[in-house]
A and B are shown apart, each in its own frame.
Chain A
Amino acid sequence: MKKILIAAALATALPAALQAHHGWSGYDATKVLNVTGKFRTVSWSNPHGTATIDWKGKRWNVILAPTGRMEARGLTQAMIAPGKPVKLVGYPRIDGTAEMRIERVTAGGKTVELR
């Protein structure tokens, strides 16, 4: 019985060895990106909003927060609509993919924490 429980614990822990993506651990918090620009596209949806932005010669995927959290903190879809000026503080993917996860966003005169 004890062996079975140990095996179950191992099976549960196994995926931890896989590379992270959506959790914060997949992003390099030591490389802070300060981005000023306008989103090309915004997808206001769950499990988290996403957007794209052209920055430093690359097209970046931008990972936002769950829509309910952003709305609760006063950030609306209209404030970050494509073409509106936004300031982003975020971190790049560790694996070098052009994707950043956003810590805070400033839009419409308001700064909102996304974590």
Chain B
Amino acid sequence: MIDLSAFGDAVQSSPLGVWAGGEIYPIANLVHLLGLVMLVGGIGILDLRLIGMFRRIPTEALAAALTPIAIAGLLFMIPSGATMFASDASTLVNSWTFQTKLMLIGLALANAIAFRFIWQKRIGQWDVNPPIWGRVMAAVSILLWLSVAALGRWIAYS
């Protein structure tokens, strides 16, 4: 069993934690927000198409356009999020909001990876014959990412 509080204190008082609490912090915050816009903007619109909206737009082409934007957004979010975590780790490790957020990120990523394994080959047929469970997974995806975003914002108030 890892002592979370000791871990948080160690991260926050480390050189990384001290650096993260300096002038870099608001920049990390901005990068995190940019990443969020790209991730949820990209995958959220694709999810809506997968669920069944915007049927005039070919699903395969939309997926090819938006998936890289979403992944790039995720890649922005990880280091910027880690930076903000390092600066406030003592509080965050014991924050219910933060813990729940991390858990939902894990679920959302697992859902995304599972979607790719299960439905990637059928994405070309989505316009004529969308699988019901694929649509359900897309709905789960958008719900999870919106919840992650809401919890992220809520960390500062809980």
Contact = CB atoms under 8 A, between A and B. Distances in A.
The answer to whether A and B come from one shared complex is yes
A112 B85 CA distance: 28
B-side binding surface: helix, strand, loop or mixed?
A: helix
B21 A46 contact: yes
A1 B150 CA distance: 21
Contact of A18 (B23, B84, B96, B143): B96
Nearest to A26: B157
Interface in A1-31: 1, 4, 7-8, 11-16, 18-23, 25-26
B9 to A, nearest CB: 12
B22 A15 contact: no
Contacts of B142: 4, 8
User: Interface residues of B toward A: which range?
Assistant: 20 to 34
A20 B96 CA distance: 12
Nearest to A15: B154
B26 A68 contact: yes
B111 interface: no
B21 A12 contact: no
Interface in B142-158: 142-143, 146-147, 149-151, 154-158
B115 interface: no
A45 interface: yes
Given A1-B53, A8-B142, A18-B96, A47 B154 contact: no
Given A15-B158, A45-B18, A45-B25, 6 more contacts: A7-B143, A11-B147, A15-B154, A18-B158, A22-B156, A43-B21
Interface of A: 1, 4, 7-8, 11-16, 18-23, 25-26, 43, 45-47, 66-68
